[in-house]
Chain A
Amino acid sequence: MATQHELDELQDELNLLIISYLDLFDEYQASRAELSRALSDGFFNLAQANFNAPNRVRYGEDMYDNRMKALRGVGIVVDENDVTAYTLKDLTSPPEVGTPEKADPEATSNLDGSDLGSDKEKISKSADQGDSDTPNTKPEGSEAALTLVNPKADPLRWFGILRPMALGTAQTNFVHSLPPIMKLVSTLSDIEYHEKSIRSLRQTVRELRKELGVNLIDESVEEPETIPGLDKLSISTDKAGDGIIDYDRSEDSRAAKGG
């Protein structure tokens, strides 16, 4: 036999789910902004490189190398709720010995953008050390998937050895676009899970309320559609065109604003 107390608990649980769901949208927006920034910087530097090109070349499809092999990829982990986490993975490192099922801890540790050196710098260091075929030793921790170990595999080489610095900068920008991509798809999976849970929990709440014979206009029970703060939620257009929606949640100072 259902009780009011149970109903209240479920209602609380629902509220928490909804808040967490809305937080995910903040994260989604933030990742979208980060992705937009990285890509637009990359495109602009690519244009700059083309303007500065020493040889009338255009840095594009003509120079792609058909021998290319992926250096960076994705690692996928699915938890018991079917929520999928995507992480950036260094595909040049040797396969894990002994633990093929677990996600590689080094490659999936937090990808701290501030540790990034440009690929060009990393390459010059290895080149100076005189090894042209460096063994695949992994750099530690957060840099694992964002630095290249083997300079000969660097796609930058397809475009010539003597190339404008802007091309290298563009490469760094595009590499920086990968972590937000990972974040976006992971967040999307989480969002889907939340939606499923919210819908099913709402259903349960409705049934419970029916069972308790709750009067629908009884104000002591809140409708899930009037969560405090939700009425202040307004999604307007992205006027500035910078990938950020003007997203107003007054109780949340982390609202995605600015750019």
Chain B
Amino acid sequence: MAAPSSYKDRNFLAVIGDEDTVTGLLLAGIGHVTTGANATRNFLVVDPKTEIEKVEKAFDEMTARKDIGILLINQHVAERIRYKIDMYTAAFPAVLEIPSKDHPYDPEKDSVLKRVKKLFGE
């Protein structure tokens, strides 16, 4: 059973996505920038020109933090670091893929739905 210490301080959401997704979620009040010299953000705006390394780095940093409970990531951005996400097994933070304005939710790419098939050997 997971010890409370591993999750009770995980109060923030985090988001890696395109500008409108991040703007929207920040409008919803989840954005947080820590005070001080090495301010950290719980969001990253990704556009087609953003280097993969930057996205990977943000993913690593956000999943390593102890104060984040859920990491949201646009499905189309997740595709660019699919191998990383597939290898992610930690219980916290939970990673959830969300649609963006020009990439609606695609159930074909949702690995969750494939689990039923796996379980019943279809």
Residues of A that sit less than 8 Å from B by CB: 21-22, 25, 28, 32, 35-36, 39-40, 42-44, 46-47, 59-61, 64, 66-76, 78, 80, 82, 84, 86, 89, 91, 101, 148, 154-156, 167, 170-171, 173-175, 177-178, 181, 184-185, 188-189, 191, 195, 198-199, 225, 230, 235, 237-238, 241-243, 245
Enumerate chain B residues within 8 angstroms of A64, measured Cβ to Cβ. 23, 26, 31
Q: Tell me if A185 and B113 are in contact (CB < 8 A).
A: no
Residues of chain A within 8 A (CB-CB) of B120 are 225, 230
Count chain B residues whose beta carbon lies closer than 8 angstroms to a beta carbon of A. 52
The segment from B48-56, B57-65, B76-84, B88-96 that touches chain A is B88-96
Question: Which residues of B are interface residues toward A (Cβ below 8 A)?
Answer: 1-2, 4, 7-8, 10-13, 19-33, 39, 42, 45, 69-70, 72, 91-92, 94, 96, 98-101, 104-108, 110, 112-113, 115-117, 119-121
CA distance A66 to B113 in the complex (A): 38
**A67, B12: Cα distance in complex, Å:** 16
Contact between chains at A181 and B7 (CB < 8 Å): no
Contact of A155 among B26, B96, B117 (CB under 8 A): B26
Q: Chain B residues near A68 (CB, 8 Å)?
A: 26, 31-33
Q: If A181-B96, A235-B113, A237-B107 touch, does A73 touch B12 (CB 8 Å cutoff)?
A: yes
The 17 listed contacts between A and B (C-beta, < 8 Å) are: A35-B98, A39-B24, A39-B98, A69-B33, A70-B11, A70-B13, A70-B31, A74-B10, A74-B70, A75-B69, A76-B69, A78-B1, A82-B2, A171-B28, A177-B28, A199-B119, A238-B107
A73's partner among B30, B92, B96 (CB-CB below 8 A) is B30
Cross-interface CB contact of B121 among A101, A154, A177, A225, cutoff 8 Å? A225
What are the residues of chain B within 8 A of A74 when measuring CB–CB? 10-13, 69-70
Residues of B within 8 A of A80 (CB): 1
Extra contacts, 17 of them, besides A181-B98, A191-B112 (Cβ < 8 A), are A40-B99, A46-B20, A68-B33, A69-B33, A70-B11, A72-B13, A76-B69, A84-B2, A89-B11, A148-B29, A155-B31, A170-B24, A175-B29, A188-B96, A189-B94, A191-B115, A235-B117
Q: Would A86 and B70 be within 8 Å (CB), given that A68-B33, A171-B27, A181-B98 are in contact?
A: yes
| Distance A87 CA – B29 CA, assembled complex (angstroms) | 15
**Closest beta carbon of chain A to B46's beta carbon, Å:** 11
Q: What is the CA–CA distance of A72 and B108 in the complex, to the nearest angstrom?
A: 31
Q: A70 to B42, Cβ gap below 8 A?
A: yes
Question: Please, how many angstroms separate the alpha-carbon atoms of A148 and B32 in the complex?
Answer: 16
Q: Select one of B20, B30, B101 contacting A70, CB under 8 A.
A: B30
Cα distance A67–B121 in the bound complex, in angstroms:
51
User: Is A39 a contact partner of B99 (Cβ separation < 8 A)?
Assistant: yes
CA distance A70 to B28 in the complex (A): 9
Give chain A nearest CB distance to B80 CB in angstroms.
19
Closest Cβ of chain A: how far from B31's Cβ, in Å? 5
Whether B24 lies near A46 (C-beta < 8 A) is yes
In the complex, residue of chain A having the shortest beta-carbon distance to the beta carbon of B94:
A185
Is there contact, CB below 8 Å, between A46 and B119?
A: no
Contact with B104, one of A36, A82, A195 (Cβ below 8 angstroms)? A36
Q: CA separation between A167 and B26, bound complex, in Å?
A: 13
Whether A71 pairs with B70 at a CB distance below 8 angstroms is no
Query: How far, in whole Å, are A67 and B35 apart by their CA atoms in the complex?
Result: 8
Q: How far is the CA of A3 from the CA of B8 in the complex (A)?
A: 45
B105, A32: Cβ atoms under 8 Å? yes
How far, in angstroms, from A74 to B94 measured CA to CA in the complex?
A: 11
A170: chain B residues within 8 A (beta carbon): 24, 27
